[in-house]
A and B are shown apart, each in its own frame.
Chain A
Amino acid sequence: DTEVTQTPKHLVMGMTNKKSLKCEQHMGHRAMYWYKQKAKKPPELMFVYSYEKLSINESVPSRFSPECPNSSLLNLHLHALQPEDSALYLCASSHTGGSSGANVLTFGAGSRLTVL
């Protein structure tokens, strides 16, 4: 299994809603990532988990809350978002740092989020 699966594919939410994005991989990767991508822009790193521990938080607002329940799952909890948070949210996984494999990220298809 060489896939990263993200759900839902599309999500529309109001500014007062609470929702979650989910990500799953079964490649034995121990690093998992959340990236945010706006149209015609590069992916921007949000969070990195290494061995289920949060290793990087790129000063993301607290209305985004990541969670890594186990080595295969990664969630992004959303609460009180703003319209400017509308974007494609990409989950990815890789081998952990210190190896060439850490440069090879496998991305999921993304969750396209619209905040009204």
Chain B
Amino acid sequence: GQSLEQPSEVTAVEGAIVQINCTYQTSGFYGLSWYQQHDGGAPTFLSYNALDGLEETGRFSSFLSRSDSYGYLLLQELQMKDSASYFCAVRDNTDKLIFGTGTRLQVFP
């Protein structure tokens, strides 16, 4: 079967750095994406990796290692508004975007 595993919850304080990991096992691989979802809101796209390495977008960075079937989202200079759920997602060889189990990030003052 297909699976994308993430830690269920991560906590941190404002200004800190946090890393959310994602390990995947899918039928084919056409990129790893990250989405943020605030309570009651819709998922919004954050970042995408097609190739190995680090992609940086402002305070957020995303990393991919295809040989390890592993990626992570790095959030720097955490702010209260970063408290949300974060999902990794993989596009498989049937063109489906499969979402990970999700990580709830709580940022404390």
Give A residues with C-beta under 8 Å from B: 33, 40-45, 48, 50, 55-56, 58, 90, 97, 100, 102-110
Are the C-beta atoms of A55 and B95 separated by less than 8 Å?
yes
Bound-complex Cα distance A44 to B4 (A): 13
In the complex, the 3 A-B pairs of residues with the closest C-beta atoms, listed nearest first? A42-B99, A107-B42, A97-B95
Contacts A41-B102, A42-B101; is A105 near B96 (CB within 8 Å)? no
Question: Which residues from chain A contact B44 at a C-beta distance below 8 Å?
Answer: 107
- B108 proximal to A (CB < 8 A): no
Minimal Cβ-Cβ distance residue in A for B91:
A103
Are the C-beta atoms of A104 and B87 separated by less than 8 Å?
no
Looking at the complex, which one of B50, B94, B99 makes contact with A56 (CB distance below 8 Å)?
A: B94
Give B residues with C-beta under 8 Å from A: 30-31, 33, 35, 41-45, 48, 50, 87, 89, 91, 94-102, 104
15 contacts between A and B (CB under 8 A): A41-B102, A42-B99, A42-B100, A43-B43, A43-B99, A44-B99, A45-B98, A58-B96, A90-B42, A90-B43, A100-B50, A102-B95, A104-B48, A107-B43, A107-B44
Question: Which residues from chain B contact A40 at a C-beta distance below 8 Å?
Answer: 102, 104
Are the C-beta atoms of B97 and A45 separated by less than 8 Å?
yes
Are the C-beta atoms of A105 and B43 separated by less than 8 Å?
yes
Give chain B nearest CB distance to A51 CB in angstroms: 13
Minimal Cβ-Cβ distance residue in B for A44:
B99
Are the C-beta atoms of B48 and A103 separated by less than 8 Å?
yes
Bound-complex Cα distance A16 to B5 (A): 38
Question: Which residues from chain B contact A109 at a C-beta distance below 8 Å?
Answer: 41-42
Question: Which residues from chain A contact B104 at a C-beta distance below 8 Å?
Answer: 40
